[in-house]
């Protein structure tokens, strides 16, 4: 360390050390560690970028606008974390699963805590809009044993790409959401509608940034799941449609190959009758394997 730093002065060369040593009295060791790493990397980035004063002010105004966009219903900083890949990185670090367990992906902002419990086979589509879909599968442990009673919380966007909470008054409350319990064989099944790709909210600073980066705001069609069972790690995941046009360019980097399931069109009259539909439907089969705690 230079003499200047020892005396508490700040120079271009010792910039990070000057700030880090000033934080040395922090009581919380984790805060101290986190701030040290952030300061070190932030100063290195500024040294590499060498922003002009105007560029730095532009960055400040971007962050200001991001905060101002936040409300009870909108979390622009989460979107920023999503489109920079940080949400998926934090998810990966916190969900290192054993081989054979289903992989996790982002939760997203549209989950609600109090979705209604529904019976196996119920239709979560409350407004009869969209192409009918039957989703089925099993909840298993790593050895392939069923997990009876596992709680399966599902939610999805409608055929126009909107969640009920984005269209209050237009869609029925709790449309396309439900909580199911796996049966004794670990099986679950429910009806919904074939989801469609949709843009993440892009009318704020994050959407503008995506545009400036030459990126689109779309997420490929998917179903959301949170699966819980006692003695197992909670799984937050999706099922993706591999034929979606955005499957290789999810705006939030949530796609994993293991989470794709065919949305199989079914038009055989016998199968239509057996599944209880009036006409052709899509069938999606996906099992989920939970890691033990
Ligand atoms: C979602 O899948 O619901 C979602 C995830 C990240 C950002 C916006 C939406
Ligand atoms: Fe989603």
Cβ proximity of 194 and 188 under 8 Å = no
Does 68 reside within a domain? no
Ligand having the closest approach to the CA of 80: 1
Which tens digit of pLDDT belongs to each residue from 10-40? Answer: 999 999 999 999 999 999 999 999 999 999 9
**Residue 79 alpha carbon, nearest atom of ligand 1:** 7
* Whether residues 273 and 224 fall in one domain: yes
- Segment 39-47 long-range contacts (CB within 8 Å, at least 24 positions apart): 40/16, 43/15, 43/16, 43/19, 44/16, 47/12, 47/15
* Whether residues 118 and 223 fall in one domain: yes
Q: Is the pLDDT of residue 172 over 90?
A: yes
Does 69 reside within a domain? no
The whole-number average pLDDT for the span 264-285 is 95
* Whether residues 134 and 252 fall in one domain: yes
Beta bridge partners, 190, equal 135
* Whether residues 92 and 20 fall in one domain: no
Determine the pLDDT at residue 237: 98
- Residue 72: pLDDT band with limits 50, 70, 90: confident
The whole-number average pLDDT for the span 157-178 is 93
Pocket-testing residue among 78, 90, 104, 106, ligand 1, by greatest number of atoms within 8 A of Cβ: 106
- Cα 82 to ligand 2 centroid, rounded to whole Å: 12
Does 158 reside within a domain? yes
Residue nearest atom 6 of ligand 1, based on CA coordinates: 108
Residue nearest atom 4 of ligand 1, based on CA coordinates: 108
Give every CB contact of residue 184 below 8 A, 6+ residues apart in sequence.
146, 148
* Whether residues 149 and 251 fall in one domain: yes
Which tens digit of pLDDT belongs to each residue from 186-245? Answer: 999 999 999 999 999 999 999 999 999 999 999 999 999 999 999 999 999 999 999 999
**Residue 207 belongs to domain spanning:** 86-290
Determine the pLDDT at residue 152: 98
Domain tally for the chain?
Answer: 2
Q: Which residue has the higher pLDDT, 74 or 117?
A: 117
Q: How many residues in total does the chain contain?
A: 293
Query: Could you tell me the two tokens for 112?
Result: 């609600």
Query: Which residues sit with their C-beta closer than 6 Å to ligand 1?
Result: 79, 82, 106, 108-110, 200, 219, 252
Euclidean distance between CA atoms 23 and 62, whole angstroms = 27
Determine the pLDDT at residue 28: 98
Determine the pLDDT at residue 8: 75
Cβ proximity of 203 and 73 under 8 Å = no
Residue nearest atom 7 of ligand 1, based on CA coordinates: 108
Ligand having the closest approach to the CA of 217: 1
Q: What are phi and psi of 180, to 5 degrees?
A: -120, 160
The DSSP result for the chain, as a single string, is: --HHHHTT---STTHHHHHHHHTTT-S-HHHHHHHHHHHHHHHHHHHHH---HHHHHHHHHHHHHHHHH-BTTB-HHHHHHHHTTHHHHHHHHH--PPTTSPPP----TT--TTPPB--TT-B--SS--S-EEEEEEEEEETTS-B-TT-EEEEEE--TTS--GGGSBTTBPTTTTEEEEE--TTSEEEEEEE----EEPP-SSHHHHHHHHTT---EE--EEEEEEE-TTB--EEEEEE-TTSTTTT--TT----GGGB---EEE--HHHHHHHT-SS-EEEEE--EEEPB-
Residue nearest atom 1 of ligand 1, based on CA coordinates: 108
- Residue 4: pLDDT band with limits 50, 70, 90: low
Determine the pLDDT at residue 7: 77
Pocket-testing residue among 86, 90, 109, ligand 1, by greatest number of atoms within 8 A of Cβ: 109
CA angle 119-125-127, nearest 5°?
130
Task: Determine what percent of the chain is predicted with pLDDT higher than 90.
Answer: 94
Q: Which residue has the higher pLDDT, 8 or 59?
A: 59
- Residue 3: pLDDT band with limits 50, 70, 90: low
- Cα 96 to ligand 2 centroid, rounded to whole Å: 22
Residue among 145, 155, 153 nearest 175 (CA):
155
232: domain CATH number?
2.60.130.10
- Cα 251 to ligand 1 centroid, rounded to whole Å: 9
* Whether residues 28 and 135 fall in one domain: no
**Residue 78 alpha carbon, nearest atom of ligand 1:** 7
Token pair 């290789």: residue: 248
């Amino acid at each position: 360390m230079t003499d200047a730093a020892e005396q508490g002065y700040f120079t271009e060369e010792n910039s990070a050390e000057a700030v880090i040593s000033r934080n040395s009295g922090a009581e919380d060791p984790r805060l101290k560690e986190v701030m040290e790493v952030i300061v070190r990397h932030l100063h290195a980035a500024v040294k590499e970028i060498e922003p002009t004063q105007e560029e730095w002010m532009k960055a400040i105004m971007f962050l200001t606008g991001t905060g101002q966009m936040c409300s009870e219903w909108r979390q622009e900083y989460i979107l920023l974390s999503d489109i920079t890949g940080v949400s998926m990185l934090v998810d990966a670090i916190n969900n290192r699963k054993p081989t054979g367990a289903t992989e996790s992906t982002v939760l997203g902002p549209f989950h609600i805590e109090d979705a209604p419990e529904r019976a196996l086979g119920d239709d979560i589509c409350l407004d009869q809009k969209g192409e009918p879909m039957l989703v089925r599968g099993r909840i298993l442990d790593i050895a392939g044993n069923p997990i009876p009673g596992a709680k399966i919380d599902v939610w999805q966007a409608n055929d126009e790409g909107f969640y009920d909470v984005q269209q209050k008054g237009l869609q029925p409350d709790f449309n396309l959401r439900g909580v199911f319990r796996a049966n004794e064989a670990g099986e679950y099944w429910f009806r919904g509608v074939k989801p469609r790709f949709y843009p993440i909210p892009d009318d704020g600073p994050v959407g503008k940034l995506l545009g400036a980066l030459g990126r689109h705001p779309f997420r490929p069609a998917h179903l959301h799941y949170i699966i819980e069972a006692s003695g197992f790690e909670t799984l937050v995941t999706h099922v993706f449609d591999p034929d979606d046009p955005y499957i290789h360019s999810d705006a939030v980097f949530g796609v994993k190959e293991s989470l794709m399931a065919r949305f199989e069109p079914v038009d055989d009259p016998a199968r239509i009758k057996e599944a209880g539909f009036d006409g052709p439907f899509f069938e999606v089969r996906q099992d989920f394997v939970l890691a033990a705690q």
